Amino acid sequence: MKALLLYRDRDFEPLHELSWSEEALIQDLELNTLFDAMALGDKFVRGVVDKAVLSGLRNDLETIIYRQDILKDCLKKPSVVREIYDLAVETITEERKIYGGVVRYPSSTLRRSMEALQLLVGMLKKLRQIADKHGSTFESAGFTRLFAMLQKELSDEYFDTVQDHLKELRFGGGVLVSAELGKGNKGTNYVLRKQDKKHGWIEWVLGAGQRPYSLHISDRDQSGAKALSELRDRGLNLVANALAQSDDHILSFFNMLRTELAFYVGCLNLHEQLVQLGEPTSFPLPVAQPNRRHSAIGLYDVCLALTMQQKIVGNDLNADNKELVIITGANQGGKSTFLRSVGVSQLMMQCGMFVPAEALCSNICDSLFTHFKREEDTTMSSGKLDEELSRMSDIIDSMTANSMVLFNESFAATNEREGSEIAAQIIRALVDRRVKVFFVTHLYEFAHGFYKKGLEHAIFLRAERHDDGRRTFKLNEGEPLQTSFGGDLYSKIFGANDYN
Amino acid sequence: MTFHSILFDIRGDSIGEEPSEAPDFFVDLNLDQVVDAITASRRDYDLKPFFYMTLSNIDTIKYRQAVMQDLEQKTLFEYLELFARKMRAMREHLVQVDRLFHKYQKEAWFLDAVEIYCDAVQGLVQNLNLVDMESRGLLTFHEFLSNYARSRRFTSLVTETKKLKADLSTVRYCLLIRQNSIRVRKYDDEIDYSADVEATFEKFKIGAVQDYRVELPSGTTMNHVEEGILDLVARLYPDIFSTLDDYCARNSNYLDETIGVFDREIQFYLAYLDFIARLKRAGLKFCYPRLTDNNKEIYVEEGFDLALAHKLILENTPVVCNDFFLKDQERIFVVSGPNQGGKTTFARTFGQLHYLACLGCPIPGSGAQVFLFDRLFTHFEREEDITNLHGKLQDDLVRIHHVLEHATPNSLIIINEIFSSTTINDSVFLGNRILEKISELDLLCVCVTFIVELASFNEKTVSVVSTIVPDNPALRTYKIVRKPADGLAYAISIAEKHGLTYDRVMERIKE
């Protein structure tokens, strides 16, 4: 039995270590804000959503749609989804409380397993009752399958069989074990056998008169008693193991259910907060590779909205069939925010979530990288440009043509000419390989150089600025300009009189 | 041809008393380390005595060399190792027989020991048929073993053993454990209940989970409850167990003595080959030297110190090889040059190679001719011994006197740093006297010394020096080359390093 709520055909395995590029995404796109909002204080949810969101980059189109459908069901029936989640949490918590003993013997393992099994079976029954009650109101393939499976596998007859075993395993009639002669004629290969009344064991046991083939341990014989219980344990070893493992399997079903639902609970949490802020959300339209699509209406940086706790300015983008988006313009004009909104929305789309936009259509990419300007590294091991280039080289090592890279003021650690030349060399190659590039830059020579070429697959966006220096945080298409209006910032900080 | 021993040719040296002590020079030549390493993983065989006795007969050396060469075939080597493993397992079983108490348990272990022995013999006969062998030692052994395996004594042992094992494996029984009692009866196809339970929960199976099986005590002995059960089982199957009793009574002397001796002696070869295999994998070469007893011209190409190489390979450090030869009148290597340049290593190499060659072993090098010596003497610097009340110089003289008393023209002497505890004039004087004596004996000698004057003593001495890299005196090459001992090369490079050569000093002192 599997939950299969994140993938149609396999479990979600959230245990992977974050790679360096994922660490960079979290840092550069400020994803922790997003994850915290999804978790809403639930540590378990927090531990699932980051991996679920980041691993989304490996999803195919089908998986994205599969999850979108499930999420739509969740948004329709949030209380049922939360009820199932809570049931899974309760099961796991209660199971953990069952005492297992300090030293492990097959007999103690058996005792604990039987108690745990009693609990788990009860919870499975409750789960099936939820399926009975609400199953028909869910539409997604994922939930439909889950509920149907619960009803099919967990029939009343099945629960009866389990109870029979739990009774038999108390071994009222003694433990029957078969054995063979092993090395040195020592008994081996002990196998627990089912006592079959037809075989006349009962008569054999109860048969009066002489007992030629029996052995009796006297009450004073302590080592004999120990030997006897050891022998009994040999018989019970396998069945205790089978039962304990069954417990584990059932428990891991609940764990999987909890883990996979945690992602959707996170989505529900986020959705509720965005609705409260009055921010729009929509289900995006993912497009398969090798198409190049990227258009959006009202695309905003969800992390900024969550941090500011207010509705923020969204941007429109029309970059279908483009590989290169170069963004120039005013300082603090919203360039970085825009870049982040592109990255975060891409991630959210690929993991099957709704996106922070009125509408979004984008092609799926194999991997997403950020190459943002970093603080001077303190290890003294390499210069800043050296560090940037080494990061770039790492990215190139792990990317495919269907990747997307977000650059934020990269290669500015040297003079403009060198920086531009380095940037141009790299970007030209990336674009020729059809890697999708968003590049925020002040490198005029670089940006303008590309502009002059009039590339078919490039567009140029500029952060807007009114004549009085006010920013609108809107980006429009436009030729890169030579100044980034640093003077504005200077005068804002030092006072207008000081400027000019 | 009858088979005698795999170590000793019937026409050559015979097995005398096995020496229990290593020869005196073992420590000086680091041969103790080599033999420790060779025998380390085969302690049970007590192989060291084999490495303590050199052979004086070239036929026996050739006999061993031929066996060793046969064993260089990997398959043959593996076949004998397999045989050895089985014989070891057999012996371990017999140890158990002595340790255990219950009759049926002892008997079962004994039965297994015999089974393993039969398998070892049959397996080896079959395997030896598959390989080409050329050595007289292995050919005659193969013939002996084939005859033995066909003998009535052996074949009936095999048949009986198999039958009894098969019978015992049919014994299956059931125990019903209830409160304080156990009932025993024959097994009657009852259902495996663990599997039944497992099947019920099959549908939940997801991936791998923890293994809850408890490792229950699995010693070889039995407690009295198990013994009681075994007695009951024996009563359920009376025929099988009485046959077992009878079998054990009749077969107590099953092991053939010649095979027992071979099992130990063949280990001499396997241990040595095993040891050098690691070095060969690292690219070092071994060869079967030609031995002479009438000609003192010797040569070794790409020789090295086996003890040092063993250590260096473990540390992944490359090993430096050296070529050397003595021809015509030449008898004595006088080794001088910078310290830690490989002088002592060279001396040890010379000694080790001769010693190992006289055991019949392949020796370090790509090609060699060595001398079949009668005795080997070493004189290495010793810590001062306060118990003998002599001074160190006197001690040196006493020891070297003893050596020269016992040495013959066919002996080998290896001297490492002699007379260092006196004035240089004394050293030169005494050194000259000793070399005179050695020259008179006309024996082969290596003399490591700081006394440069000894290097050009007479036509019998050959001067070899350790070398360094001129640009980097700290880096040792460990190459020993034939070269007059001028004592200069090292000094000049040290001077360069400190900027104190003539040119540099001229440069630095500006006018």
The closest CB to that of B212, out of A199, A212, A241, belongs to: A241
Residue A489 in this model has a pLDDT that exceeds 50: no
- DSSP state at residue A377: P
Task: Look at B392 and B314; give whichever has higher pLDDT.
Answer: B314
Q: Which residues of B touch A216 (CB under 8 A)?
A: 180-181
List the CATH number of the domain containing A327.
3.40.50.300
* Nearest CA among B49, B75, B70, B117 for reference residue B268: B49
Domain co-membership, A305 together with A380? yes
pLDDT band at residue A194 using 50, 70 and 90 as cut-offs = confident
Q: How many residues does chain A have?
A: 500
pLDDT given for residue A378 in this prediction: 42
Q: Which residues of B touch A240 (CB under 8 A)?
A: 212-214
Residue A337 in this model has a pLDDT that exceeds 60: yes
Residue A177 in contact with partner chain B when CB distance is under 8 A: yes
pLDDT given for residue B444 in this prediction: 94
Q: Using CA atoms, how far apart are residues A432 and A93, in angstroms rounded to an integer?
A: 54
CA B124, chain centre distance (Å): 23
Q: Is B72 helix (H, G, I), strand (E, B) or coil?
A: coil
pLDDT band at residue A209 using 50, 70 and 90 as cut-offs = very low
From the number of C-beta atoms within 10 Å of its C-beta (0-12, 13-18, 19+), residue A17 rates as exposed
Q: Using CA atoms, how far apart are residues A296 and A285, in angstroms rounded to an integer?
A: 10
- DSSP state at residue A376: P
CB B419 within 8 A of CB B433: no
Residue A162 in contact with partner chain B when CB distance is under 8 A: yes
pLDDT band at residue B503 using 50, 70 and 90 as cut-offs = low
Q: Which residues of A touch B220 (CB under 8 A)?
A: 183-184, 186
Pairs of CB atoms within 8 A across A/B: 214
Domain co-membership, A351 together with A466? yes
pLDDT given for residue A498 in this prediction: 44
Q: Could you tell me the sign of the dihedral formed by the alpha carbons of A450, A452, A453, A455, in that order?
A: positive
State the smallest CA–CA distance between residue A55 and chain B in angstroms. Answer: 21
Residue of A nearest to B182 (CA): A215
Q: Which residues of A touch B210 (CB under 8 A)?
A: 244-245, 248
Task: Look at B96 and B424; give whichever has higher pLDDT.
Answer: B96
State the smallest CA–CA distance between residue A388 and chain B in angstroms. Answer: 37
Residue A334, C-beta contacts closer than 8 angstroms, at least 6 positions apart: A313, A315, A463, A471, A473, A474, A475
Residue of B nearest to A164 (CA): B197
Q: Using CA atoms, how far apart are residues A43 and B224, in angstroms rounded to an integer?
A: 56
For B449, list phi and psi in degrees, rounded to 5. -155, 155
Residue A491 in this model has a pLDDT that exceeds 80: no
CA A433, chain centre distance (Å): 30
Dihedral in degrees, nearest 10, Cα atoms B139, B143, B145, B150: 160
pLDDT given for residue B205 in this prediction: 84
Cis peptide before A290 (omega within 30 of 0): yes
Lowest mean pLDDT among B66-75, B151-160, B413-422, B460-469: B413-422
The closest CB to that of B105, out of A177, A185, A235, belongs to: A185
Which tokens in the block code for residue A264? Answer: 């959707």
Residue A151 in this model has a pLDDT that exceeds 70: yes
Residue A121 in contact with partner chain B when CB distance is under 8 A: no
State the smallest CA–CA distance between residue A346 and chain B in angstroms. Answer: 32
* Nearest CA among A93, A71, A62 for reference residue A5: A71
CB B225 within 8 A of CB A217: yes
Residue B390 in this model has a pLDDT that exceeds 60: no
Q: Using CA atoms, how far apart are residues A148 and A243, in angstroms rounded to an integer?
A: 26
Q: Do B183 and A204 touch (CB under 8 A)?
A: yes
Q: Using CA atoms, how far apart are residues B145 and A168, in angstroms rounded to an integer?
A: 60
Q: Using CA atoms, how far apart are residues B382 and B376, in angstroms rounded to an integer?
A: 18
DSSP string for residues in B173-224 = EEEEEETTEEEEEE-----BHHHHHHHHTGGG--S------------SS--H
Number of C-beta neighbours around residue B289 at 10 A: 25
Q: Which of A230, A254, A277 is the last residue of a domain?
A: A277
Domain co-membership, A360 together with A433? yes
Q: Is B464 helix (H, G, I), strand (E, B) or coil?
A: strand
Domain co-membership, A241 together with A310? no
Side-chain half-sphere exposure of B250, counting CA atoms within 13 A: 11
Q: Which residues of B touch A204 (CB under 8 A)?
A: 176, 183, 185
Residue A192 in contact with partner chain B when CB distance is under 8 A: yes
In a domain, A16, yes or no: no
Domain co-membership, A391 together with A330? yes
CB B73 within 8 A of CB A153: no
pLDDT band at residue B464 using 50, 70 and 90 as cut-offs = confident
Domain co-membership, A312 together with A195? no
Domain co-membership, A410 together with A371? yes
Q: Using CA atoms, how far apart are residues A235 and A191, in angstroms rounded to an integer?
A: 6
pLDDT given for residue A429 in this prediction: 84
Residue B179 in this model has a pLDDT that exceeds 80: yes
Domain co-membership, A188 together with A236? yes
pLDDT given for residue A419 in this prediction: 74
CA A246, chain centre distance (Å): 26
In a domain, A195, yes or no: yes
Task: Look at A120 and A429; give whichever has higher pLDDT.
Answer: A120
Average pLDDT, rounded, for chain B: 86
Residue of A nearest to B200 (CA): A162
Residue holding tokens 């029996």? Answer: A214
Q: Is B339 helix (H, G, I), strand (E, B) or coil?
A: coil
In a domain, A36, yes or no: no
In a domain, A212, yes or no: no
Q: What is the pLDDT of residues A16-54, one digit of tens each?
A: 788 899 999 999 999 999 999 999 999 999 999 999 999
The closest CB to that of A153, out of B197, B203, B210, belongs to: B203
Q: What Å distances lie between residue B128 and B77, B82, B406, CA to CA?
A: 11, 12, 46
pLDDT given for residue A415 in this prediction: 59
Q: What is the pLDDT of residues A345-354, one digit of tens each?
A: 999 999 999 9
Average pLDDT, rounded, for chain A: 86
Q: Do B176 and A175 touch (CB under 8 A)?
A: yes
Partners of A165 in the β-ladder: none
Residue A237 in contact with partner chain B when CB distance is under 8 A: yes
Q: Which residues of A touch B206 (CB under 8 A)?
A: 1-2, 11, 249, 252-253, 256
Residue B489 in this model has a pLDDT that exceeds 90: no
pLDDT given for residue A379 in this prediction: 42
Residue A286 in this model has a pLDDT that exceeds 70: yes
Q: Do A242 and B198 touch (CB under 8 A)?
A: yes
Q: Which residues of A touch B233 (CB under 8 A)?
A: 181
Domain co-membership, A198 together with A299? no
State the smallest CA–CA distance between residue B112 and chain A in angstroms. Answer: 8
Give the A window 243-272 contacts with B, CB below 8 Å.
243-246, 248-250, 252-253, 256
Residue A232 in contact with partner chain B when CB distance is under 8 A: yes
In a domain, A42, yes or no: no
Give counts: helices (H), strands (E), chain A: 16, 13
Q: Is A381 helix (H, G, I), strand (E, B) or coil?
A: coil
Q: What is the pLDDT of residues A291-308, one digit of tens each?
A: 899 999 999 999 999 999
Please report, for chain B, the start and end positions of each structural domain, with discontinuous segments joined by +: 1-18+53-185+222-277, 282-508
Residue A149 in contact with partner chain B when CB distance is under 8 A: no
Domain region containing A166: 59-205+222-277
pLDDT band at residue B467 using 50, 70 and 90 as cut-offs = confident
Lowest mean pLDDT among A298-307, A486-495, B279-288, B356-365: A486-495
pLDDT given for residue A213 in this prediction: 83
Q: Could you tell me the sign of the dihedral formed by the alpha carbons of B1, B7, B10, B12, in that order?
A: positive
Q: Which of A255, A277, A299 is the last residue of a domain?
A: A277
Q: Do B174 and A185 touch (CB under 8 A)?
A: no
State the smallest CA–CA distance between residue A132 and chain B in angstroms. Answer: 20
CB B27 within 8 A of CB B70: no
Residue A153 in contact with partner chain B when CB distance is under 8 A: yes
pLDDT band at residue B11 using 50, 70 and 90 as cut-offs = low
Q: What is the pLDDT of residues B15-32, one digit of tens each?
A: 677 888 899 899 999 999
Residue A202 in contact with partner chain B when CB distance is under 8 A: no
Q: Is A216 helix (H, G, I), strand (E, B) or coil?
A: strand
Q: How many domains does chain A have?
A: 2
Q: Using CA atoms, how far apart are residues B415 and B75, in angstroms rounded to an integer?
A: 43
* Nearest CA among A124, A127, A149, A139 for reference residue A4: A149
Q: Using CA atoms, how far apart are residues B386 and B392, in angstroms rounded to an integer?
A: 9
Give the residue-averaged pLDDT of B191-200.
90
Residue A55 in this model has a pLDDT that exceeds 70: yes
CB B352 within 8 A of CB B31: yes
Domain co-membership, A346 together with A256? no
CB B69 within 8 A of CB B132: no
Interface test with B, best of A193, A202, A210 (most B CBs within 10 A): A193
Residue A95 in contact with partner chain B when CB distance is under 8 A: no
DSSP string for residues in A267-299 = HHHHHHHHHHHT---B--EEE-TT---EEEEEE
State the smallest CA–CA distance between residue B337 and chain A in angstroms. Answer: 44
State the smallest CA–CA distance between residue A244 and chain B in angstroms. Answer: 7
Q: Using CA atoms, how far apart are residues B143 and A110, in angstroms rounded to an integer?
A: 61
Residue holding tokens 């409380």? Answer: A97
What superfamily in CATH does domain B282-508 come from?
Answer: P-loop containing nucleotide triphosphate hydrolases (3.40.50.300)
Q: Is B478 helix (H, G, I), strand (E, B) or coil?
A: strand
Q: Which of A246, A261, A277 is the last residue of a domain?
A: A277
Rg of chain A taking only CA atoms, in angstroms: 32
Which residue spans within B220-297 are E strands per DSSP? 286-287, 290-292
CB B406 within 8 A of CB B443: no
The closest CB to that of B213, out of A153, A212, A238, belongs to: A238
pLDDT given for residue B499 in this prediction: 44
Q: Is A368 helix (H, G, I), strand (E, B) or coil?
A: strand
Residue B496 in this model has a pLDDT that exceeds 60: no
Residue of B nearest to A114 (CA): B197
Task: Look at B195 and B208; give whichever has higher pLDDT.
Answer: B195
CB B360 within 8 A of CB B63: yes
Q: Is A363 helix (H, G, I), strand (E, B) or coil?
A: strand
Q: Which residues of A touch B216 (CB under 8 A)?
A: 106, 230, 233-234, 237
Which tokens in the block code for residue B79? Answer: 């076949």
A424: left (phi over 0), alpha (psi -120 to 50) or beta: alpha
Q: Do B206 and A192 touch (CB under 8 A)?
A: no
In a domain, A327, yes or no: yes
In a domain, A132, yes or no: yes
Domain co-membership, A354 together with A243? no
H helix or E strand, kind and range, residue B251: none
State the smallest CA–CA distance between residue A159 and chain B in angstroms. Answer: 10
Q: Using CA atoms, how far apart are residues A431 and A457, in angstroms rounded to an integer?
A: 8
Number of C-beta neighbours around residue B497 at 10 A: 13
Give counts: helices (H), strands (E), chain B: 17, 14
Q: Do B206 and A186 touch (CB under 8 A)?
A: no
pLDDT given for residue B486 in this prediction: 61
pLDDT band at residue B137 using 50, 70 and 90 as cut-offs = very high
In a domain, A462, yes or no: yes
Domain co-membership, A424 together with A294? yes
For A484, list phi and psi in degrees, rounded to 5. -105, 20
Q: Which residues of A touch B197 (CB under 8 A)?
A: 165, 169, 239, 242-243, 246
State the smallest CA–CA distance between residue A26 and chain B in angstroms. Answer: 31
Q: Do A217 and B200 touch (CB under 8 A)?
A: no
Q: What is the pLDDT of residues B140-161, one digit of tens each?
A: 999 999 999 999 999 999 999 9
